């Protein structure tokens, strides 16, 4: 049986996700209030693979001015926490709209589209990487993991993104659909599903942003999975970070193991891979909005490593 600390971490992550998915706007294809720029709300997005959920699309400032320019795309999990504090957990959002607008105005990044994918009541099941649970855990550990989190649904969730959502986004908006222009990012369990996505679909996603990644899930089994499945470092970028307070206080030993895996796989820190530690940062949107400019710049900005230190 897991120790009390591990159980407490799981309870916190589940509780955080449940509250996050319980507050959402239901208006379809209307701009969201209280945000900077144009966020198009697509109501309850239909899908054959998982529960329907909201999809919000943030368009960069120049989108309405040019009818020919195409843009890279960032897909983000827990979409209702990204743009509007009214719909976000604890009433604080990631500030993606403010941060993207500021970085674009400062010419630190190129313009890009951000797609916020709302979570569902099955959030933990959808975000827990499925193949590591099914193929790499002992029978006892697998049963324990499923008992705590439910049967993993992440393969179906990724199929929803890759075969339903992305084709819709590419058909509806002026995107650059190639791998090198397509990224995926999330926090906590959203960090796990992001790195899983880039491993399972290396021809679709050119990079993954993994913020406060919840490595303790499944006894860290995803780390073992990464040893065999990390995509080509010549064609991909991967970002990791973690704080030192609340749930994040448990992450550093796991992240150090991940860093070793990254090095052995041929990734170079500051070029196609970043890991950053943020002393004093907690496990919340409040902390993530303070540092989200770093992965955004990593994906859409200059290759100058000085950008990554601010």
| pTM value surpassing 0.75 | yes
Report the distance separating Cα 188 and Cα 76, nearest Å. Answer: 12
Q: Are 250 and 216 in contact (CB under 8 A)?
A: yes
Q: Find, among 208, 207, 206, the residue nearest to 191 by Cα.
A: 208
- What was the pLDDT predicted at 8? 39
- What was the pLDDT predicted at 33? 52
Tens-of-pLDDT digits for all 310 residues of the chain? Answer: 444 344 334 444 444 444 444 333 333 444 445 678 899 999 899 999 999 999 999 999 999 988 899 999 999 999 999 999 888 888 899 999 999 999 999 999 999 999 999 999 999 999 999 999 988 777 777 777 777 778 889 999 999 999 999 999 999 999 999 999 999 999 999 999 999 999 999 999 999 999 999 999 989 999 999 999 999 999 999 999 999 999 999 999 999 999 999 999 999 999 999 999 999 999 999 999 999 999 999 999 954 434 444 4
Report the distance separating Cα 186 and Cα 188, nearest Å. Answer: 7
- What was the pLDDT predicted at 122? 95
Q: Are 97 and 58 in contact (CB under 8 A)?
A: yes
Of all residues in the chain, what percent are helix, strand and coil, respectively (each to 5)?
A: 45, 20, 35
- The greatest distance separating any two alpha carbons of the chain, rounded to the nearest whole angstrom, comes to 58
Report the distance separating Cα 118 and Cα 228, nearest Å. Answer: 30
- Kindly compute the dihedral angle of the four CA atoms of residues 277, 303, 208, 246, in this order, to the nearest 10 degrees: 20
CA 194 to chain centre: 5
- Kindly compute the dihedral angle of the four CA atoms of residues 241, 246, 249, 254, in this order, to the nearest 10 degrees: -60
CA–CA distances in Å: residue 190 to residues 37, 75, 91, 171: 25, 11, 19, 26
Q: Which residues contact 85 (CB under 8 A, 6 or more apart)?
A: 34, 91, 92, 93
User: Which residue ranges make up each domain of the chain?
Assistant: 4-309
- What was the pLDDT predicted at 307? 41
The CATH label, of 3.40.190.10, 3.40.50.10420, 3.40.50.1820, 3.30.470.20, for the domain at 4-309 is 3.40.50.1820
Q: Please name the residue that has the structure tokens 């290759």.
A: 303
């Amino acid at each position: 049986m897991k120790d009390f600390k591990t159980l407490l971490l799981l309870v916190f992550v589940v509780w955080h996700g449940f509250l996050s998915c319980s507050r959402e706007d239901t208006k379809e294809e209307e701009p969201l209030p209280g945000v900077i720029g144009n966020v198009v709300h697509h109501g309850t997005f239909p899908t054959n693979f998982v529960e329907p959920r909201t999809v919000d699309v943030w368009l960069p400032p120049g989108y309405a001015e040019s009818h020919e320019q195409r843009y890279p795309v960032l897909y983000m999990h827990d979409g209702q926490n990204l743009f509007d504090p009214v719909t976000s957990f604890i009433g604080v959002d990631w500030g993606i709209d403010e941060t993207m607008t500021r970085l674009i105005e400062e010419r630190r990044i190129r313009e890009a589209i951000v797609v916020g994918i709302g979570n569902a009541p099955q959030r933990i099941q959808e975000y827990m990487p499925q193949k590591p649970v099914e193929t790499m855990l002992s029978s006892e550990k697998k049963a324990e993991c499923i008992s705590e989190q439910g049967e993993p649904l992440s393969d179906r969730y990724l199929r929803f993104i890759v075969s339903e959502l992305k084709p819709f986004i590419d058909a509806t908006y002026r995107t650059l659909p190639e791998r090198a222009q397509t990224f995926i990012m999330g926090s906590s369990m959203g960090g796990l599903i992001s790195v899983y996505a880039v491993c399972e679909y290396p021809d679709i996603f050119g990079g993954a942003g993994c913020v406060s990644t919840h490595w303790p899930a499944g006894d860290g089994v995803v780390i073992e999975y990464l040893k065999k499945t990390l995509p080509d470092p010549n064609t991909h970028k991967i970002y990791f970070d973690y704080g030192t307070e609340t749930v994040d206080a448990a992450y550093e030993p796991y992240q150090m193991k991940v860093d070793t895996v990254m090095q052995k796989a041929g990734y170079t820190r500051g070029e196609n891979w970043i890991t950053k530690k943020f002393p004093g940062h907690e496990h919340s949107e409040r902390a993530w909005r303070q540092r989200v400019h770093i992965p955004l710049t990593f994906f859409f900005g200059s290759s100058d490593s000085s950008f990554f230190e601010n």
